[in-house]
């Protein structure tokens, strides 16, 4: 996935058309602990913001100095609204604490309440407290209150605002904790209590929501070595909760944490979670992903399989990053385009005959596409077979080139509507593909 405008311009393209719904969804910075909320008909994403640490003590740990917020109407194109809160602007926080961990944001009676953990400043104050910042707009800027919420020590706040406008705060700190909030949304209205009835194993990062009169408390849970996502259900926001099982298995590729939120948007439920896609060697630099989530008829949640493909349709006229594949066969692999700047994204490598990569749900619209362009590097030339589901596959010739080139060909298919796209190697070796587009 190349995002270099320079290169695009060199090929006579514009920077427009970088339309990607794949995982990860934010391509120019780390975005961990994603809380997604629907406000004003859009999805707003409030993640924490991992950065390489400027201070020695956090070189091997989480390091976050500020929060950005992003919004999207289609879960594909995300607008970064910039910094909404910086550690140096929190009156009670350490200006160099770099501890702005997982946040949340809820809307009540004309105000957006942004809940965030931070390291408190001052003699003898240790650990984490949870602050509130307010705004009249979901994209901020947010103004922090003078003091954190009294009686709360911990991380990962989540607020459930119930249908009757009563609010409940959940957080991580020596187990999963919860308390009612007062109407002002900034003070506790009950003694903090630990959520009972959950299995052994480290738990943090709670996310609570209501659906069809059932309350869901979902959380990262270490069942074995690293964090799975799991959940419990109740008839009441304050419990008792009954453990129901897992939503996502632990990652097989080495990100210790997983942190999530669950949101319904335009009739579909989505799981927002994170993985260290852009930082495979160091799992404290994470990136937000989205996959679809489904409920069973009895309200239980089906296991979500993490994908690179992510959600939504991809416009056939955009640069389709097929390395965010739905499926791949032996002989096909992906790699970073530039190991020194992983945010440039990935490429596909086809190394043996019939090696195939498949990318689902490409939208060709109503006007038939008749031309295909591939950004490719084929040192000894070769041929690709291109197949759109339900249509006759066709072959494309690749000229020998050790550099990236755009190869354009007539597509002898009349593609409209939504198709799954497969690309296979017919001949050649070490053929690399950056992206593909249709016209």
Nearer to ligand FUB, 33 or 323 (CB): 33
- Residue from 259, 275, 289, 347 touching ligand FUB (CB under 6 A): that is 259
Nearest to 102 by CA among 168, 149, 159: 159
Torsions phi, psi of 144, nearest 5? -75, 145
Q: Which is nearer to ligand FUB, 285 or 419 (CB)?
A: 285
Reading the block at residue 84, the tokens are 């909404």
Q: Quick check: 438 binds ligand FUB (CB under 6 A)?
A: no
User: Toward ligand FUB, which CB reaches closer, 229 or 374?
Assistant: 229
Q: Are the C-beta atoms of residues 27 and 15 closer than 8 Å to each other?
A: no
In terms of CB distance, is 102 or 378 closer to ligand FUB? 102
207-211 and 242-248: which strand pairing?
Answer: unpaired
Q: How many CB atoms lie within 10 A of CB 216?
A: 22
- Residue in 139, 204, 283, 434 binding ligand FUB, rule: CB under 6 A: 204
What would the two tokens of residue 177 be?
Answer: 């904790």
Among 24, 97, 154, 205, binds ligand FUB (CB under 6 A): 205
CB neighbours of residue 311 within 10 Å? 21
If one asks whether residue 208 binds ligand FUB (CB under 6 A), the answer comes out as no
CB atoms within 10 A of CB 32: 25
Has 33 been annotated as catalytic? yes
What string marks each residue from 54 to 73 as x (binds ligand FUB by CB under 6 A) or -? --------x-----------
Residue 81, φ and ψ in degrees, nearest 5: -85, 5
**Residues of this chain, 142-201, that bind ligand FUB according to CB under 6 A:** 155-156
- Which stretches does DSSP call E strand in 87-175? 104-108, 111-118, 129-135, 143-144, 155-161, 167-172
CA 48 to chain centroid: 11
Q: 50, 118, 204, 277: which is the annotated catalytic residue?
A: 204
CB of 30 to ligand FUB, least distance (A): 10
Which of positions 352-411 make contact with ligand FUB (CB under 6 A)?
A: none
Q: Smallest distance, Å, CB 56 to ligand FUB?
A: 19
| CA–CA gap between residue 286 and residue 278 (Å, rounded) | 7
Instruction: Number of residues interacting with ligand FUB: please give it, by CB under 6 A.
Output: 12
Looking at the Cβ atoms of 232 and 374, the one nearer to ligand FUB is 232
Closest distance to ligand FUB from the beta carbon of 202 (Å)? 10
Nearer to ligand FUB, 274 or 377 (CB): 274
48 lies in the binding site for ligand FUB (CB under 6 A): yes
Hey, what long-range contacts does 131-134 have (CB within 8 A, 24 or more apart)? Answer: 131/90, 131/92, 131/93, 132/185, 132/186, 133/84, 133/85
Handedness of CA 271, 276, 278, 284 (dihedral sign): positive
Minimum distance from CB of 172 to ligand FUB (Å)?
A: 7
Q: Least distance in Å: CB of 244 to ligand FUB?
A: 20
Contact 182, 113 (CB under 8 A): no
CB of 120 to ligand FUB, least distance (A): 16
Q: Under a CB-based contact definition with an 8 Å cutoff, are residues 135 and 114 in contact? A: yes
Regarding 76 and contact with ligand FUB (CB under 6 A), the answer is no
What is d(CA 308, CA 421) in angstroms, rounded to the nearest whole number?
A: 15
Nearer to ligand FUB, 220 or 312 (CB): 220
Q: Does 33 bind ligand FUB (CB under 6 A)?
A: yes
| Site track 94-113 with ligand FUB (rule: CB under 6 A), x = hit | -------xx-----------
Q: Which of 33, 50, 118, 227 is catalytic?
A: 33
Backbone phi, then psi, for 343, in 5-degree steps? -65, -10
Whole-angstrom distance, CA of residue 81 vs CA of residue 47: 12
In the complex with ligand FUB, the residue whose CB is nearer, 100 or 308, is 100
Shortest approach of ligand FUB to residue 286 CB, angstroms? Answer: 7
Q: Does 257 bind ligand FUB (CB under 6 A)?
A: yes
Q: How many CB atoms lie within 10 A of CB 22?
A: 26
The answer to whether residue 287 forms part of the interface with ligand FUB (CB under 6 A) is no
Taking the C-alpha atoms of residue 13 and residue 168, their distance in angstroms, rounded to an integer, is 50
CB of 221 to ligand FUB, least distance (A): 11
Regarding 32 and contact with ligand FUB (CB under 6 A), the answer is yes
Contact residues for ligand FUB, defined by CB under 6 A: 32-33, 48, 62, 101-102, 155-156, 204-205, 257, 259
Q: Which residues are catalytic?
A: 33, 204
């Amino acid at each position: 996935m190349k995002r270099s405008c320079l290169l695009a311009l060199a090929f006579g393209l514009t920077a427009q058309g970088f339309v990607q719904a794949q995982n990860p969804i934010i391509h120019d910075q780390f975005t961990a602990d994603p809380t997604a909320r629907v406000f004003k008909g859009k999805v707003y994403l409030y993640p924490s913001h991992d950065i390489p640490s400027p201070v020695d003590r956090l070189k091997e740990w989480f390091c976050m100095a500020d929060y950005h917020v992003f919004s999207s109407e289609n879960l594909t194109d995300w607008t970064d609204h910039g910094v909404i809160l910086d550690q140096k602007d929190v009156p009670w926080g350490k200006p160099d604490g770099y501890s702005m961990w997982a946040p949340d944001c809820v809307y009540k009676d004309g105000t957006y309440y942004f809940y965030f953990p931070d390291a408190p400043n001052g003699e003898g104050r240790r650990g984490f407290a949870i602050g509130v910042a307010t705004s009249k707009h979901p994209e901020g800027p947010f103004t922090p209150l003078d003091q954190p919420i009294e009686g709360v020590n911990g991380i990962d706040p989540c607020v459930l605002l119930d249908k009757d406008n009563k609010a409940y705060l959940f957080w991580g700190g020596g187990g999963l904790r919860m308390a009612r909030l007062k109407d002002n949304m900034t003070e506790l209205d009950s003694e903090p209590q630990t959520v009972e009835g959950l299995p052994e194993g480290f738990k943090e990062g709670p996310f609570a929501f209501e659906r069809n009169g059932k309350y869901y408390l979902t959380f990262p849970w270490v069942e074995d070595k690293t964090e799975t996502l799991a959940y419990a259900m109740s008839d009441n926001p304050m419990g008792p909760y009954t453990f129901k099982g897992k939503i996502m298995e632990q990652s097989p590729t080495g990100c210790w944490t997983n942190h999530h939120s669950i949101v319904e948007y335009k009739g579909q439920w989505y799981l927002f979670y994170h993985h260290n896609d852009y930082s495979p060697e160091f799992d404290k630099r994470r990136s937000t992903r989205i996959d679809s989530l489904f409920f069973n008829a009895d309200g239980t949640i089906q296991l979500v399989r993490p994908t690179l493909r992510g959600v939504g349709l991809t416009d056939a006229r955009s640069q389709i990053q097929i390395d965010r594949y739905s499926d791949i066969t032996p002989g096909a692999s992906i790699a970073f385009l530039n190991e020194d700047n992983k945010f440039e994204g990935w490429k596909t490598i086809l190394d043996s005959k019939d090696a195939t990569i498949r990318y689902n749900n490409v939208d060709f619209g109503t006007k038939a596409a008749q031309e295909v362009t591939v950004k490719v590097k084929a040192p000894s030339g070769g041929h690709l077979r291109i197949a759109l589901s339900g249509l006759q596959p066709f072959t494309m010739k690749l000229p020998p080139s050790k550099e990236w080139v755009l190869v354009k060909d007539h597509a002898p298919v009349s593609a409209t509507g939504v198709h799954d796209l497969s690309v296979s190697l017919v001949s050649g070796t070490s053929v690399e593909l950056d992206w593909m587009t249709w016209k």
